[in-house]
Structure 1
Amino acid sequence: MTDPTSDSEADRNPALELETRREIYKEIDDTPGVHFRALLEEFDYAKGTLQYHLRQLERGGLLEASDDGTYTRYYPAGSFDEADRAVMNALRREYARRIVAHLAVEGGLTTTELSDRLDRSPSTVSWHLSKLEDAELVTKDRDGRRVVYELTDPDRVEYLYTVHRRSFTDRVVDRLFDLWDSY
């Protein structure tokens, strides 16, 4: 695949004619699923300036935006299907990422079990689980009186986390996935 940030590609795609846009695109390519606020912090641009450049990259067919319910996240165009974007959106949120990691490594868990592992209140964990359920990343099943949550596609989660591991800065999740790899 050609590098859209190379000078020859920039000559062919007017959306990359400016160094600023090439830098923004490169950051998004290196950190797929990065959200608007993180890009603002990374580049220290005025909000309107960043919005303008992102729109130009989208119009140029280089970026796709994804709304995760809280943030607008950006991906290189054509690199992630809808299901992959849903996983990446979750992996970009700290506690959702940790919940997903525990479910990937340990299998089905209840809200209480996850709450104990994350040292967060059951209501906080329940909120994150409902968002993950809305994104169709987890399912819940009744096991007697217990409600157990499981990942809908643990292989997809493991693959995306492994491929993009460097772009996540979460040692806790890294350790969990290392445990998973050792089984």
Structure 2
Amino acid sequence: MVDAGPDSEPELELRSRRTIYQHVRDNPGIHFRALLEALEYAQGTLQYHLRWLDDHGLLEESDDGTYTRYYPAEEFDEVDRAVMNALRREYARRIVAHLAVDGALSTADLSERLDRSPSTVSWHLSKLADADLVTKERRGRSVEYELRDPERVQYLYTVHRRTFTDRVVDRLFDLWDSY
């Protein structure tokens, strides 16, 4: 039997492809290694199907500087993908949660809240600033960071909360909800 190639396959006909697509829909912003672990496909098989789904407009890729993340096509705009990329990274998620709940904070404030060095917090803040998720403003002798769109962050976190495993952030957002 001769393989006619991926172009001849009807959309999502293969069970493996449907499984991958559904897992991405259920976990938007998931990266390759997490998909590999969750679905237990061979690396080459997963790469092939992800590429096929992307080529056929069913998935979109987003590079967060560390990982290539996958999203269902046309469900997340560029800003939403940037927010979700940040929410998928543990310390970025925690920084975002503190900024959402407490408003503008300095690197020192965040360092204390996260129990991380100022340089680590600063690195994460620079990534968030590069993604245009936070703004920084000099206030006196310190620089404070603030979320550009806290309502969007809260909405995306709330809708996709079950896909994040971070009780600390859950408690912070629960505080925000109670205001």
TM-score relative to the length of structure 1: 0.92
Moved over 2 A (4+): none
Alignment of 1:64-103 (within 5 A): 64-103=60-99
Could you tell me which residue of structure 2 aligns to residue 181 of structure 1?
177
Amino acid in the other structure paired with 2:148 = T
Paired residues, what number?
171
Among 28, 50, 57, the residue aligned to 2:53: 57
**Structure 1 CA distance for aligned equivalents of residues 139 and 87 of structure 2:** 27
Distance 1:43 1:30 in 2: 13
Cα distance in structure 2, aligned partners of 1:50 and 1:179: 39
Separation in 2, partners of 1:48, 1:123: 38
Q: What letter matches 1:68 in structure 2?
A: D
Q: Could you tell me which of 118, 122, 132 is aligned with 1:122?
A: 118
Please list every run of 5 or more consecutive structure 2 residues that lacks an aligned counterpart in the other structure. 1-8
Shift of 1:45: 1.9
Q: 1:115-147: per-residue Cα shift (whole Å, max 9, x none)?
A: 111011111000000000000000110001010
Tell me the SS of whatever aligns to 2:51: helix
What is the deviation of 1:14?
A: 1.8
Q: What is residue 109 of structure 1 aligned with on the other side?
A: 105
Instruction: Using the TM superposition, give the Cα deviation of residue 60 of structure 1 relative to its aligned residue in structure 2, in angstroms.
Output: 1.9
Cα distance in 2 for residues equivalent to 1:33 and 1:15: 22
1:34 aligned residue (30, 34, 41): 30
Instruction: Give the aligned residue type for 1:177.
Output: F
Partner of 1:9: none
Identical columns (%) = 77
Aligned-pair RMSD on alpha carbons? 0.9
1:155-175 deviation digits (Å, cap 9, x = unpaired): 110110011111111100000
2:102 maps to amino acid? E
Are residues 1:16 and 2:20 paired?
Answer: no
C-alpha separation between the residues in 2 aligned to 1:137 and 1:61? 26
In structure 1, list runs of 5 or more residues that go unmatched.
1-12
Counterpart in the other structure of 1:168: 164
**In the TM superposition, what are the counterparts of 1:127-146 in structure 2 within 5 Å?**
127-146=123-142
For 2:34 and 2:113, the matched residues in 1 are separated by: 28
**In the alignment, what sits opposite 1:149?**
145
Confirm or deny: 8 A CA contact 1:15 1:56 kept in the other structure: no
**Amino acid across the alignment from 1:137:** L
Q: Secondary structure at the match of 1:16?
A: coil
**Partner in structure 1 of residue 6 of structure 2:** none
**Equivalent-residue separation in structure 2 for 1:30 and 1:43 (angstroms):** 13
Q: Distance in 1 between matches of 2:45 and 2:11?
A: 14
**C-alpha separation in 1, matches of 2:45 and 2:22:** 17
- Give, in whole Å, the separation in 2 of the partners of 1:14 and 1:29: 19
